[in-house]
Amino acid sequence: MEVSNRLNKLPSQFFATLVKKVAVAVSEGRDVINLGQGNPDQPTPKHIVQALQKSVENPDTHKYSPFRGTDEFKQAAADFYKREYNVDLDPDLEIAVLFGTKIGLVELPLALMNEGDLLLLPDPGYPDYLSGVGIANVTYDTMPLHSEQGFLPDYKKLTDKQKEKAKLLYLNYPNNPTGATASVAFFDETVELAKCNNIGIVHDFAYGAIGFDGDKPVSFMQAEDAKEVGIELYTLSKTYNMAGWRVGFAVGNAKMIEAINLLQDHLFVSIFPALQHAAATALSSSQECVDDLVNLYEGRRNTLITECNRIGWKVNAPKGSFFAWLPVPEEFQSEEFADYLLAKADVAVAAGNGFGTYGEGYVRIGLLVDEARIIEAISRIEKLNIFNP
């Protein structure tokens, strides 16, 4: 039996290709330092694990969850946003429970767009945004992110036709892959664009907890009237090292939240209740573990930048996320450079062109190995004599 045309239109999985290349190298017995991954390397904090263990022992959690999630988890999410961002949310109308935010990002075009509608996406950007494009059979245009603009889209470059046709616009700050952050002023500008052109805004806040140099990332919901035009997706994967738990939520515009919930009513019966209890515990308990995690990533970032500059690799320090976005030498293309580092130095990085046309000329490095391995990786690259210290 042949698969559907819908599946045939899906993009190839960029990260799967990267994983395969690394796996081949490792199978050959090589000591690969994998800086290309986006998988948190620290364990989930013990108090969250213990909350799950205790909840699993309660037979009530073995039943179906309420279709739209437990009141406990949604209230915890609302309280979290009030405490962290001073944003008021109605748990019943303005919060949707998600099986990780990737689900939400891929679902949204199905829930809110019709075939042929236009989706505006950042370039470079998270590759799986395109999965939603293929599944919903919508069209898309990209908004280039340039270093000169702080890797923020320049809305003045959007054409009248794009603003007229666009149904949704995706943003992601702190940004994957560039590590850039956004300000409330930029989000205010985004709200104004949305209001004037009837565009729904979707802010992917996956790295919302991870900001450096004492600067806490701002939420799109902190912009005035943000809830009138859009939603924000928050995942526990990065903030609490719960990537494999697949727990997240969306907040904001009630109509957009209802669209997510309605679609999910037909696809899922929400998340295992014990997981939702553990997630509520994560959001409601002391956030000291989050502070410790951010300090860990900042130390790794500082080591990476120091080592790169030491060997003559001139790079800028990311302001947030756990990624660094580094320029490749002029004689290389992005994928060529990534393949060269893997072949000659046993160092894996993610080629920038995998994140979009405007990712060419960069590689993405994850701050997801310890500082000793970061130092070793840069020392290996130094021996290739590509850079002049």
Whether pLDDT at 225 is above 80:
yes
Region of 213 (left: φ > 0; alpha: ψ -120 to 50; beta: rest) is: left
The pLDDT value recorded for residue 22 is 87
Q: Above 80 in pLDDT, residue 13?
A: no
Please check whether residue 230 is in contact with residue 201, taking contact to mean a CB–CB distance below 8 angstroms. Answer: yes
Give the mean pLDDT of 93-109: 96
Cβ pair 164, 158 in contact under 8 A: no
How many Å apart are CA 189 and CA 185, to the nearest integer?
A: 6
Cross-strand partners of 158: none
Confidence of residue 2 (pLDDT cuts 50, 70, 90): confident
Residues 6+ apart with CB under 8 A from 253: 94, 200, 227, 228, 229, 230, 231
End-to-end CA distance of the chain: 58
pLDDT at residue 15 greater than cutoff 90: no
| Statement: residue 12 has pLDDT above 80 | no
pTM over 0.85: yes
Alpha carbon distances (Å) from 17 to 20, 22, 335, 346: 5, 9, 12, 17
192, pLDDT greater than 90: yes
Is 350 within 8 Å of 126 (Cβ atoms)? no
State the average pLDDT over residues 95-101.
96
How confident is the model over 141-179, as pLDDT tens digits? 999 999 999 999 999 999 999 999 999 999 999 999 999
Sequential DSSP letters for 58-83 = SGGGGSPPPTT--HHHHHHHHHHHHH
Q: For 50-74, how does the pLDDT look when each residue is reduced to its tens digit (9 = 90+)?
A: 999 999 999 999 999 989 999 999 9
Query: What average pLDDT does the chain have?
Result: 95
Q: How confident is the model at residue 46 (pLDDT cuts 50, 70, 90)?
A: very high
pLDDT, position 369: 96
Could you tell me if 304 and 381 are in contact, meaning their C-beta atoms sit under 8 angstroms apart?
Answer: no
pLDDT, position 10? 84
Picking from 43, 39, 75, 49, the residue whose alpha carbon sits closest to that of residue 282 is 49
pLDDT > 90: what percent of the chain? 91
pLDDT classification of 187: cutoffs 50, 70, 90:
very high
pLDDT for position 146: 97
What's the pLDDT at 130?
93
In the chain, what is the greatest distance between 2 CA atoms, to the nearest angstrom?
63
What pLDDT sits at residue 214? 94
Cross-strand bridge partners of residue 348: 34
- Report the percent of the chain where pLDDT is more than 70: 100
Residue appearing with tokens 């580094």: 326
pLDDT band (50, 70, 90) for residue 190: very high
Q: Which pLDDT band, with edges at 50, 70 and 90, does 7 fall under?
A: confident
Tokens (6 digits) for 226: 């943000």
pLDDT by residue (tens digit) across 114-151? 999 999 999 999 999 999 999 999 999 999 999 999 99
On the question of pLDDT at 18 being above 90, the answer is no
Q: Is 216 exposed, middle or buried (0-12, 13-18, 19+ CB in 10 A)?
A: middle
Residues 6+ apart with CB under 8 A from 48: 240, 242, 278, 281, 282, 285
- pLDDT score of 322 more than 80: yes
Domains of the chain: 5-44+288-382 (3.90.1150.10), 63-284 (3.40.640.10)
